């Protein structure tokens, strides 16, 4: 007859493989939950814009959504917001759906307390912050600047959070450099 294992019989290494985002293994902190909800909200917004573009390509609601999609930097237009020259519908819809999937993964992963979701946000911000900074340098307005500062603050928060957890892992030396014990 096979023997059943209790939770106390499972080695700590196996529990750590779940990659909990919270060092205590409990719920993620409020800031991470708020970031997850923001990601899920952005996923819904981007999905609405993609659906409007597909089903009602000349509606006022689509123009409003596309205005904000461009303003928030999902589709770079280099200052041509009012010109009416947008990329083809298929390219825009595909771009929006890719954003939606990424935002869904980020939001759900962070709500579930997974470290990989925070790393995904870090990689995304690492890729988006340099072009955002260049765009701010070329055409600054309050929304672009606020978006840049907000994204930079999120990046710093998550980088510090992940860095602290990495440094607090058992077996990690906190003393001097190489060769020092």
Domain parsing of the chain, residue ranges:
27-167
Q: If you average pLDDT over every residue of the chain, what do you get?
A: 77
Residue where the block lists tokens 């759906």: 97
pLDDT at position 60 is 82
Q: Are 118 and 21 in contact (CB under 8 A)?
A: yes
pLDDT digits (tens, 9 = 90+) for 7-40: 555 444 434 444 555 555 568 899 999 999 999 9
Residues 113-161: tens digit of each pLDDT:
999 999 999 999 999 888 888 888 888 888 888 888 999 999 999 999 9
Tell me, what's the pLDDT at 106? 93
Q: Which of 42-46, 61-65, 83-87 has the highest mean pLDDT?
A: 42-46
Q: Is the pLDDT of residue 86 over 80?
A: no
Chain-centre distance of CA 76, in angstroms? 18
- Return d(Cα 171, Cα 12) in angstroms, integer: 14
Q: What is the pLDDT of residue 176?
A: 54
Q: pLDDT category, 174, cuts 50, 70, 90?
A: low
Determine contact, residues 86/63, Cβ cutoff 8 Å: no
Give me the count of residues in the chain: 181
For 20-29, the pLDDT digits (tens) are: 555 555 688 9
**Residues whose CB falls within 8 Å of the CB of residue 111, separated by 6 or more in sequence, listed in order:** 28, 33, 36, 37, 40
The pLDDT assigned to 87 comes to 59
């Amino acid at each position: 007859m096979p023997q059943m294992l209790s939770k106390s019989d499972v080695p700590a290494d196996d529990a750590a493989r779940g990659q909990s985002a919270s060092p205590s293994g409990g719920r993620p902190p409020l800031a991470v939950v708020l970031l997850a909800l923001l990601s899920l909200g952005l996923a819904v917004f981007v999905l609405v814009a993609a659906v409007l573009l597909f089903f009602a390509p000349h509606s006022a609601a689509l123009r409003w959504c596309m205005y904000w999609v461009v303003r928030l930097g999902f589709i770079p237009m280099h200052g041509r917001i009012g010109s009416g020259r947008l990329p083809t519908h298929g390219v825009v819809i595909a771009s929006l759906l890719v954003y939606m999937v990424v935002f869904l993964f980020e939001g759900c992963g962070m709500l579930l307390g997974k470290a990989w979701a925070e790393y995904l946000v870090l990689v995304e911000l690492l890729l988006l912050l340099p072009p955002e900074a260049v765009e701010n340098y070329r055409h600054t307005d309050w929304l672009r600047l606020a978006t840049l500062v907000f994204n930079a603050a999120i990046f710093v928060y998550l980088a510090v959070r992940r860095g602290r957890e990495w440094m607090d892992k058992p077996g990690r030396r906190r003393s001097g450099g190489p060769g020092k014990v």
